[in-house]
Every structure is written in structure tokens, then in C-alpha cells.
Structure 1
Amino acid sequence: MKKLFFLFIYLIPLFSQAQTIKTDVLVLGNSNAAFAAGIQASESGVNTIILTQSDGFKLSEFKKLPQTGITKAFEKKARKSLKIADSIELPEITNQILNAVIKHWSDSSKLLDVTNITYFELKRSGSGWEAKLTKEKSIKAKVLIVADDIQKILPALKVTSLNVAGAAKLNYSENLYRTTIGGINETTDFLSLYNLLIPNQENILYIKHDNLEIGQAAGATAAYAAFFQTKTSLSNLKRIQGELLSYKLSLMPFEDVKIADSNWMAIQKIGITGILKADIKNGKVYFNPEKEVSYDEIKQPIKDYYYKAQIWFDDHQNIPINLENTISMVCYVGNKAVDATKAEIEKKWNKNYKFSSKYDLKKVLTRREFSVIINEYLKPFDMVNVDRTGRVIR
């Protein structure tokens, strides 16, 4: 460990040869959001440079950060860098250790560079950005993420102020929650993609410095624009949501379903659709995965997603949402064979789905069980699009 610290140098020699470095995403900042944005952008497959603007990252206490794919990836890198076995608990992750691990990470990565070089000017360069470091040296990027002071950038935007991306509170009286790209841990808040994008300003994202979830969301959004060589205003909601879910960022802030849950992905996807709605209590959101599903709570949401569901519900009035009836519904709406579906679900019930209950066609399903079956056999999150307000487009 001492050797690693001894070798750690904050400045990364970006300019050993070239006077101008080209990258896909440039991140400005050194706190939670900048860390998450830069790591996510590089993990999503684009070249990323983070200018920390000081003596490295200064994160909140690491153990108190939300558990996402980004923090899990860091822990894996930390074990490798510090040569600590999986069976041994990691030491307290101080900012000194964190920066040493990040230095080792960026040195071994083809996509990530972290440096504390200071820029003195930022300006537009075509559809992207140029950060001037000296009169002769600069960084050109396709997309800029600002998790730091915005003042140096305002002249390039030709505005006097800029609002930081703001989270909204979960409210089922409107559908904006379906456009979420980040649920804020231990709150009822979420970030809509369309609250992150800046009107009339392309390829720049401005986020709060202290929020890891919003940082990760910004990183994936910037990576999408850079990878597909498009504008941030043309971001594809489903692609970005899918990318973030694959990196274990909770898009719905369910207090009672953590990422270690074997059914986390299915519950997140069904939660985003609103087919099953959560309870909001004491400033937190509860999915209640073990609660039984009722006919009334699913009837209208499923009809909103599928035309054929209207006929099925007309023919099946006020019935229990047991396994048999659920299979009947998904087979009718999804054009599947009933007997084959029953056999497949029985085979997967405990082995694949990890349900603790026994396979029983007369069993009223829990919200967990219903989510998994609907997600797998109807795929409402994956197959049905929504507009900017979250309204279902069929």
C-alpha cells in the first residue's frame, strides 16, 4: 500500500507529445458527481477526461455513498490495487486511498484519464467544447459535463446564469417518473432525462457536485451522445435507462428493494412503467415486494400499455391475480401458448427467479412475483416507448 501511495502523482502527463488532446467526454469537478460521471462515461465505452481542478477527488465518506455499479466497480479496483482478497474487509476509503486507486485505474485504462490541470478558458469548438489549459495546450471534447463552478463557461453559452439539473419528487398524478434516469437514494426524488438536458444548449450537462446518482446519469447521457455522434437533445431515453440499469443504478428510489436483490432489475423496470405503483411514506418510497397484487391496481395500467388487455379484463372481471390468471393474461396479450408458458414458469420458479414460495397456480402473486412474470413475458419497459412527459406511446 505504501508503494502505491509513493507512486501516486496527481498530474497525468496528457501532453507529452500532442498540444491538443481529443476526447469524447470532458468532466469538470472533483466531488461525488464528477467521480460518478467520469467513471460511468468511460465504463460506457467512450474516452473520458476528468479535470479535478484541485488535488484530486474529494468525495463524501465512501461507505455512505449509494451502492451502485460505479461504487461496486471501484471496490473491485480497490481490492486489486491494494492487493486485498475478497474475504477481507476493505479499509476505510479515505480520499488519499481513493485517489491512489483512481490513479492506478486510469493508468491501466485506455478510456479514462484523471488530472488536476487547471483550465483558464472554455469555448465552443464546432458542436463540442475546447478547454484551454495554456496558450498552446487544450482539450477538445464532444460533450462537456460540469460538476463544478459554471462561471467560466457562461460567456461561451452567451447567458448570464444557468440552472443546475434538478430532481423531481415522485408523484403518480403525472407520468414524468417514467422518464427517470436516476433515483436519489433515501428520498422520493428522481432525475428526469428531460430535466438534465439544457434547453437550447447542446452537448453540455450541468449537475450538482454532491450527488453521485445524478453524476452517473449524466455520465451515461454524455456517453450516448458521444458514442453515437449526436446531440444531447437527441438522447434516447430507453437506451440510457437500459445502460444505467446494467450498471446497477436504481432509477426508482425503492427503499425496500436493493441492488443485491435477485429480482431488482425486474422490479425496477416494472416500477418505471407504473404498472405497479409504490407507496410514498415519510419521505421515502416503498415498493412492498411481498404484498399481494390486487385486480384494481393493475387493471388500468396494463390496459394503458396494451390494447388487447382491454378485452382480457372485460372477460375477466374482479378475479384474483393468482398465477393461473396472470399466465392467462400474459398469454392472451402476448400471443403465447398457455401450457408451454406454465411449464416454463414452473421450471424457472425457484431456480431462475429465486422465489421462496412454491409454484402454485392458485397462489395470489406477490408484487415481486408479478413483476418478474410481467417483465419477462410482456416486457412493457423494453417494448413500449413514452414521450417527454412519460405518456405511453402505442
Structure 2
Amino acid sequence: MKKLFFAFACLIPTLIFAQTIKTDVLILGNADAAYSSGLQVSRSSASVVILTQSNPFSLDKIKETKSAEIYKIYENVQLRGIAYIKDLEKKSTQTKKKNTGKDKVDGIKLFKIINDTPIVAIERSGSGWEAKISKSKSIKAKVLVVADNNDKLLSNLNITNLKPVRLSALNYTENLYRTTISGITGTPNFLSLYHLLIPDQENLLYINPNSIEIGQAAGATSAYAAFFKTKTSLSNLKAIQGELLTYKLPLMPFVDVKVADSNWLAIQKIGITGILKAEIKNERAFFNPEKEVTNEEIKQPIKDYYYKAQIWFDDHKDVPINLENTILLVSYVGNKAVEATKTELQKKWNSSYKFPSKYDLKRVLTRREFSVIINEYLKPFDQVNVDKTGRVIR
């Protein structure tokens, strides 16, 4: 696992027959968003209970009716995530056989399911929540995720004007796209962290029950607050983005760069910075990874990120963005030795980066190649912060 912000969790199982079940995150719902959210919470080393009000979740049903959608989104690592849920379900079944059959809780350390159990009442408990599921039994959680539009359930929350998250269309007249925590497959839309958070309602998230991507984003956000014992309003954007990228959730909805692409992570990170921008066509976002980079498209964005880049571009007016000039740029801005950078790049060109092209200092770079070099040698996504509007903070 790569630099996960939940890497050292203390795994303490919840007692199956306890009158009060304690968990980090409680998720209400029985559709795709509830289960992608729960999966991400458990991956991020926080404990989660999923509580369904009716129509218990069935992996077999999802396999039959939505396998194409899930397998399209959950490529590579995500496929292993589906297998992980199946393994949990198998263990849960085995556990229940050993029990009396009177309790509906699945006894897994981090991932538990309570099926078909209406909530009697739900209310604040300190900075968290308590959901009563009978006169004598309740569930206490640090964070509550509502992935259900059941009217009775929503009325039990006793919160007026509660609305699900709203999405934003990718555009570059504003910088909100830099705050994305989920791209929406097959559309130019994304979810900003700051549209997921609910003003004046700490440790509560309300999401569309049918969106796998939004569910995963909500899972990472709720796990962050629970793990660090903090408020959702204090969520760390970069930490949550990094966690989701680690688990292969596309934060930018580029339809032409798949998760299996060897340069996917670098392209996602550079896409989030806006140093290279997508083309919006027919209601879809295209990164155009094999298109040549132009001086005009990258000059101002890199200046926005680095003061020293302003000097470099003033000294190199309208130069082609070939490999040689890109090396000069990253060496100057990043305080690196030019010749050492050339040698290192030549070694990595085909072996590490998997570029099909030949190492050629005079050839103009593709957007793919430029993304990988800028991401590795300047690290704008990892090392430069943005505010809630996406404005670069230097």
C-alpha cells in the first residue's frame, strides 16, 4: 500500500451481541453508493457498519444486473475490491451459522452489515451519531453517511433542507475542478469535496444512492474524519484525493485514459492541476494523451504554480516544448542538474514510463510524456496546495 493516511489503524472488532454497537462510520442504504462507500471506509482502515432499511444487499443481484457497470469502473485494483467484499460476505455467512440466528450483525472486524432493520430514531451523540434500531439496541458512529432517499429515514434526521450533493461540469473559467474527489464516468462532471460537505452539519454526508464513484469518495472522506477524530469540515483535500487515487478512483473524468494505462496516475494528477486541460466534446472530457504539447497551453498554468517558471518562460519565448526544453524547464524550476536529469530520463523512458517512442531531445513531447515528466520532477499536485475554490496557494 502506498503512503496511505490510514496505514496504522488499530483493528478492534465490535461485539456482536452488544447493546450498543460502536463503529467509526455508519452508512444507511442498500444500493451501489452504500457498498462502494463501505468498501472504501474499510480499505482506509476505519470500521464501518452498513445498515439497510429494506431489500437487503445482494452481491449476486449486482453481479447479474450491474456487472458491466461495476467492472467498467472497478478496473484492476477495484476488481480486487469486489473480490474483497465477496470474501467478507463469505466470512459473514460462516460467522452467522455459528451464532444463534437472533442477531443480524455480520461479525467482521472492519466491515459489518445489518440487513433489513428499520431505524427507530437517530440523533446526535456528542460530535457523532446514535441510531436506535430497537428499544434496547443502538449503533454509535463518529460519522454518518446517508446513501438512501427513504422519506421516513430522512425525517428521522430532523434536518430541514437536506439535499444530496451537487455535481459540477468541468470547465476552466473557474478552478473548482482542482478540489475534485470524484470524476463521474462517461460525463464531464466531477464532485468537489466542498460540495460533498454539508454546511453547519458536521460528520454527516448525504449522497445519491446509485453512484458508485460518489460512494467511494464519501467513504474516503468519512474515514478521514473518523480516523483522525476530527470534523468533516476540517477534511484534508490532498490526503483524501491521494487516498482515492491510490485505490484507482478517477478524479478527473477523462474518457480516453483508462485506469489500466501505465501513466494513468501522472495524467490524473496533472489533469487536476490544470497544467494540461481537457477538451470537452459531446458531453465528455478528453485528455488527448498523444497530442503534442504547445508552449501556449502550458506557459501560464506553470507560471501560476511556480514563481521561477515566469523567469524561465521570459528567457525562452515561444520555444517548442520538446524533451530538451522540458528538461531545461524542470531543472531550472526544480533546482536539478540538467545532465543528471537527461541521463535519468533516458534510462526510464521505455522501461519505467513505458513510452513507445524513442528518447529524442529534439522531438516535441506528447501530453502523456509531458505529464509524466512534470509530475515526477516538479510534483505540482503533491507539493502545491489549493484553497476551497481551487486557487493555487504559494
TM bin (shorter chain): 0.7 to 0.9
For the residue of structure 1 that corresponds to 2:145, the secondary structure is strand
Which residue in 1 is equivalent to 2:261?
261
The answer to whether structure 1 residue 63 and structure 2 residue 62 are counterparts is no
Deviation of 1:46 (Å): 0.2
For the residue of structure 2 that corresponds to 1:350, the secondary structure is helix
Return closer, same or farther for 1:107/1:124 CA change in 2, 3 Å cut-off: closer
Contact 1:267 1:371 in 2 (8 A): yes
Contact 2:106 2:114 in 1 (8 A): no
Deviation of 1:150 (Å): 5.7
Which residue in 2 is equivalent to 1:147?
147
After alignment, is 110-119 or 349-358 more displaced?
A: 110-119
Give the whole-Å Cα distance in 1 for the aligned partners of 2:107 and 2:191. Answer: 32
Which residue in 1 is equivalent to 2:111?
112
Which residue in 2 is equivalent to 1:178?
178
The answer to whether structure 1 residue 73 and structure 2 residue 80 are counterparts is yes
Contact 2:245 2:251 in 1 (8 A): yes
Deviation of 1:74 (Å): 3.5
Give the whole-Å Cα distance in 1 for the aligned partners of 2:172 and 2:18. Answer: 53
Return closer, same or farther for 1:316/1:246 CA change in 2, 3 Å cut-off: same
Which residue in 1 is equivalent to 2:51?
51
Output aligned runs, 1:296-307, within 5 Å: 296-307=296-307
Give the whole-Å Cα distance in 2 for the aligned partners of 1:108 and 1:123. Answer: 25
Deviation track 1:84-131 (CA, whole Å, cap 9, x = no partner) reads: xxxxxxxxxxxxxx9668857996842110121332211100000001
Contact 1:57 1:99 in 2 (8 A): no
Contact 1:165 1:195 in 2 (8 A): yes
User: Between the two proteins, what is the percent identity of the paired residues?
Assistant: 65
Give the whole-Å Cα distance in 2 for the aligned partners of 1:309 and 1:379. Answer: 14
Deviation of 1:177 (Å): 0.3
Deviation of 1:149 (Å): 2.6
For the residue of structure 2 that corresponds to 1:349, the secondary structure is helix
Which residue in 2 is equivalent to 1:201?
201
Contact 1:295 1:319 in 2 (8 A): yes
Contact 1:292 1:365 in 2 (8 A): yes
Contact 1:312 1:332 in 2 (8 A): yes
Consecutive unaligned residues in structure 2, runs of 5 or more: 1-13, 96-104
Give the whole-Å Cα distance in 1 for the aligned partners of 2:325 and 2:16. Answer: 67
Contact 2:292 2:366 in 1 (8 A): yes
Output aligned runs, 1:236-275, within 5 Å: 236-275=236-275
For the residue of structure 1 that corresponds to 2:351, the secondary structure is coil
Q: CA RMSD in A?
A: 2.2
Contact 2:119 2:153 in 1 (8 A): no
Which residue in 2 is equivalent to 1:89?
none
Deviation track 1:55-97 (CA, whole Å, cap 9, x = no partner) reads: 422645122224236741234347x85xxxxxxxxxxxxxxxx
Which residue in 2 is equivalent to 1:86?
none
Amino acid at match of 1:379: K
Deviation track 1:337-364 (CA, whole Å, cap 9, x = no partner) reads: 1111111111100110000001111111
Contact 1:248 1:259 in 2 (8 A): yes
Amino acid at match of 1:114: I
Give the whole-Å Cα distance in 2 for the aligned partners of 1:17 and 1:77. Answer: 25
- What is the count of residue pairs matched by the alignment? 365
Give the whole-Å Cα distance in 1 for the aligned partners of 2:90 and 2:151. Answer: 30
Deviation track 1:131-156 (CA, whole Å, cap 9, x = no partner) reads: 10111100000000000136446566
Deviation track 1:292-332 (CA, whole Å, cap 9, x = no partner) reads: 00000000000000000000000000011000000000000
After alignment, is 222-231 or 65-74 more displaced?
A: 65-74
Which residue in 2 is equivalent to 1:362?
362
Output aligned runs, 1:269-284, within 5 Å: 269-284=269-284
Deviation track 1:261-311 (CA, whole Å, cap 9, x = no partner) reads: 000000000000000001000010000000000000000000000000000
Give the whole-Å Cα distance in 1 for the aligned partners of 2:222 and 2:389. Answer: 21
Give the whole-Å Cα distance in 2 for the aligned partners of 1:30 and 1:222. Answer: 18
For the residue of structure 2 that corresponds to 1:209, the secondary structure is coil
Contact 1:38 1:48 in 2 (8 A): yes
Return closer, same or farther for 1:384/1:16 CA change in 2, 3 Å cut-off: closer
Return closer, same or farther for 1:22/1:75 CA change in 2, 3 Å cut-off: closer
Deviation of 1:158 (Å): 4.6
Output aligned runs, 1:214-253, within 5 Å: 214-253=214-253
Which residue in 2 is equivalent to 1:168?
168
Return closer, same or farther for 1:338/1:367 CA change in 2, 3 Å cut-off: same
Contact 1:122 1:152 in 2 (8 A): no
Amino acid at match of 2:296: D
Give the whole-Å Cα distance in 2 for the aligned partners of 1:63 and 1:193. Answer: 27
Which residue in 1 is equivalent to 2:389?
389
Return closer, same or farther for 1:151/1:161 CA change in 2, 3 Å cut-off: farther
Contact 1:255 1:285 in 2 (8 A): yes
